[in-house]
Amino acid sequence: MTASLLIALLVAKAAPAPAAACLPAAPEPGLGVVDPFRLPAPKATELNSAGKDFYRDGKWEEARVEYRAAEAADPAFLAPRLNVACSFVRQERFAEATTEVEALLAKAYVPWAREVLEAADLGALKPRPEMARIRRALTAAAAAWGADLDDALIFVGRMRAPLRIPNAGAGFFILNPHQEVFAFLPATGLFRQLTNEDGRVLAMLRTPDRRRIIYVTAEKLIRGAHDDDLALRGVALGELTLATMTLEPPARIEGDVRRLELAAVGAMITVKVDGDRVSGTFRRGDRGALESLPPRARGRGGVVVTARGAEAVADAAPVSNRPGCRTTAREATAAGKPRIIAVSAAGRPTRRIGEQFGAGLAGLPIP
């Protein structure tokens, strides 16, 4: 072996491995979706609707043909796969239905885990032996969905145009901004939906150990005689453990809430509530209870929520310190445009999240 060849081999052996992908122009293979905020392709929704027509008539094979075609027209549109599973159950073809459910859960644990458990036409599976397979699939899919989130950006994103509240006038208004908590993985460029709260997530904060998120939901906006006489009703604090996708019982706040503040204090998240029935500083306790705390100085990295929504986060936040993919995120706004998140890394094009409907590091305003 020549000296030059030996040197080349030694250099090759000593050279570090190529840096991990970071904000790739085209998403890398992995678990998640390319764009959770894109509406399904019109052709796919048309075919899915055609399948439902056959389904209602009990024409199961014909329905499945349309559902399969809908999925082929837009592979990210997964509703047809659930419909296929339901059609098999209606025919008492339980093994085939279970296979479809397992494939659906493996592809997108959220939002489909809840849909699988609540779909009326899948109810016949629950007392059957196949349900054990589905339970195992739920556990495995949850662990996979919650993996690799240490270096993910966790944020609140709006999935489609919100249900708008009238600009004036007293009343009780249903609140649905179509917002959920999402994760964006800079290494793959993929997204994962983390909550399925009927679009009512207003704000969230990650715990200091980065293992859990505490998030705020609300059901109604209450407006009095004056424009500034505003409150939220049906407010609750959810808690999600990321690694296992385990949800704790929600901590519900009775009465109307004028202002709520989440803050990281030490190793925990505290919540300061200003309401007509509940006021003070608390933390989430066991089984969804609120535990009272003594008044504390304002914590770090907090978010304030009122009936106008969540305040903007002023400072840029680190997302990932992974070698080869050190990223930061900051919020950005422009006149007439929704709030967005800009994710940046050295030498990579900035990724802008939420340009269509909006995204915020801790929450969004109520439109």
| Mean pLDDT confidence for 141-160 | 95
Show me where the domains of the chain are located. Answer: 42-145, 159-307
Statement: 42-145 belongs to CATH 1.10.10.60? no
Query: The whole model's pTM is what?
Result: 0.90
Is 286:249 a contact under the CB 8 Å cutoff? no
Radius of gyration of the chain (CA): 23
Tokens representing residue 29 in the block? 């293979």
| Mean pLDDT confidence for 302-313 | 92
| Mean pLDDT confidence for 192-215 | 96
Residue type, 219: E
Is 261:303 a contact under the CB 8 Å cutoff? yes
Q: How is residue 139 annotated by DSSP?
A: H
Q: Which residue has the higher pLDDT, 3 or 296?
A: 296
**Tens-digit pLDDT profile for residues 293-307:** 987 656 566 899 999
